[in-house]
């Protein structure tokens, strides 16, 4: 059997694993997410061993020659090797896939490779959070920092939820929308404050309101303005810091993909050219590592 590459995209809530070769159909596995900064070594080992067992059952684990592991927050030095927060992960990956060379990279490089391939361009992540970069076809050469859901993440689902919730708690949401929201979610001040300031996943909590908000985009002028301003803020505070006249913008992320019509409408006056908008990068990443794009 030909050598197999294994592409791994790890987030806080789920990890997607795809094994593929140039001549075989891909094998997909989904496990729990891995937060390398907070999880115990035993927890990391259990997740990797679960994935390895699934690939072994599919008959591909012994042929894995490359692993490309992407995750948010990975700080990778130019010297190669596992970053400090991935020490436990690296140990178990090398045990389960002893023949594999392993690359560790950030989710931003993940997005850039997926939407740009080997060509220069601007890559943007629009999911629960947001991020962006200028990519020269091999590496990230400029990054306007995301700054997280409190100080940034403009354009993402959590940012929209934060804007709406701030208005809701201050009585600034129109009464018709406010009543409907209160009936659907039964939120109160202390619950919201507790989840945002003391909860384990505040960004995910705020982002969970984004689908409800966007469902009312065509019914409420208030929500239309809120959603447009969310994308507009991302464009003006992030994308316009790159050379958008010379480079197309590729977008990765479920929130941006689901509401791409709104994004395209808001972006049109700025002259931004989009190369692609996709919900998830893993398929394009596999093609990248197989040399197909």
Where exactly are the structural domains of the chain?
Answer: 4-99, 108-279+289-293
Give the C-alpha distances (Å, rounded to integers) separating 247 from 136, 272, 285.
10, 9, 20
Asked whether 143 and 131 are in contact (CB, 8 A), the reply is yes
- Given this chain, do its domains 4-99 and 108-279+289-293 carry the same CATH topology? yes
DSSP letter, residue 247: S
Instruction: Quote the tokens at residue 276.
Output: 């692609």
CA 131 – CA 251 distance, rounded (Å): 10
DSSP class of residue 19 equals: E
DSSP alpha helix (H) spans, 135-281: 148-151, 157-169, 175-185, 189-198, 202-207, 210-215, 221-237, 254-258, 260-267
Q: Which CATH superfamily is domain 108-279+289-293 in?
A: ATPase, nucleotide binding domain (3.30.420.40)
Tens place of pLDDT per residue across the chain (293 aa): 578 999 999 876 788 999 988 887 889 999 988 877 777 888 889 999 999 999 999 888 788 999 999 987 777 655 567 787 788 899 999 999 998 999 999 889 999 999 998 999 999 999 888 999 999 999 999 999 887 777 878 999 999 999 999 999 999 999 999 999 999 998 888 898 888 898 877 888 899 999 999 999 999 999 999 999 999 999 999 999 999 999 999 999 989 999 999 999 999 999 999 999 998 888 888 888 887 66
Secondary structure of residue 129 in the 3-state scheme: coil
DSSP 78-106: TT-S--GGGHHHHHHHHHHSTT-EEEEEE
Indicate the fold that domain 4-99 takes in CATH.
Answer: Nucleotidyltransferase; domain 5 (3.30.420)
Q: Tell me the C-alpha distance between 33 and 11, whole Å.
A: 5
Q: What is the distance between the alpha carbons of residues 68 and 52, in angstroms, rounded to a whole number?
A: 15
Q: How far apart are CA 105 and CA 68, in angstroms?
A: 8
Cβ-Cβ contacts under 8 Å for 226 (sequence gap 6 or more): 160, 163, 164, 167, 213
Beta bridge partners of 66: 5, 101
The most distant pair of C-alpha atoms in the chain lies apart, rounded to whole Å, by 63
């Amino acid at each position: 059997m030909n050598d197999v590459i294994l592409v791994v995209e790890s987030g806080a809530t789920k990890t997607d694993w795809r094994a593929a070769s140039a001549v075989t159909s891909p094998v997909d596995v989904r496990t729990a997410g891995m937060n390398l900064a907070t999880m115990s070594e035993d927890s990391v080992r259990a997740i990797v061993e679960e994935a390895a067992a699934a690939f072994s059952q599919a008959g591909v684990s012994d042929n894995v020659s490359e692993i490309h592991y992407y995750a948010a927050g990975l700080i990778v030095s130019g010297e190669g090797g596992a970053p400090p927060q991935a020490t436990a992960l690296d140990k178990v990956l090398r045990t389960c896939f002893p023949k594999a060379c392993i690359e560790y990279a950030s989710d931003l490089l993940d997005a850039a490779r997926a939407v740009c391939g080997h060509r220069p361009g601007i890559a943007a992540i629009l999911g629960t959070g947001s991020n962006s970069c200028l990519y020269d076809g091999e590496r990230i050469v400029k990054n306007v920092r995301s700054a997280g859901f409190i100080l940034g993440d403009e354009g993402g689902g959590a940012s929209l939820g934060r804007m709406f919730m701030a208005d809701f708690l201050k009585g600034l949401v129109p009464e018709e929308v406010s009543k409907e929201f209160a009936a659907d979610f039964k939120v109160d001040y202390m619950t919201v404050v507790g989840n945002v300031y003391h909860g384990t996943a505040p960004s995910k909590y705020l982002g969970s309101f984004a689908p409800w908000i966007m469902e009312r985009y065509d019914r409420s002028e208030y929500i239309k303005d809120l959603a447009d301003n969310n994308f507009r803020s991302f464009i003006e505070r992030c994308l316009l810091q790159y050379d958008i006249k010379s480079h197309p913008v590729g977008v990765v992320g479920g929130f941006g993909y689901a509401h791409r019509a709104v994004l395209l409408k808001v972006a049109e006056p700025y002259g931004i050219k989009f190369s692609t908008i996709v919900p998830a990068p893993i398929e394009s990443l596999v093609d990248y590592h197989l040399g197909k794009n």
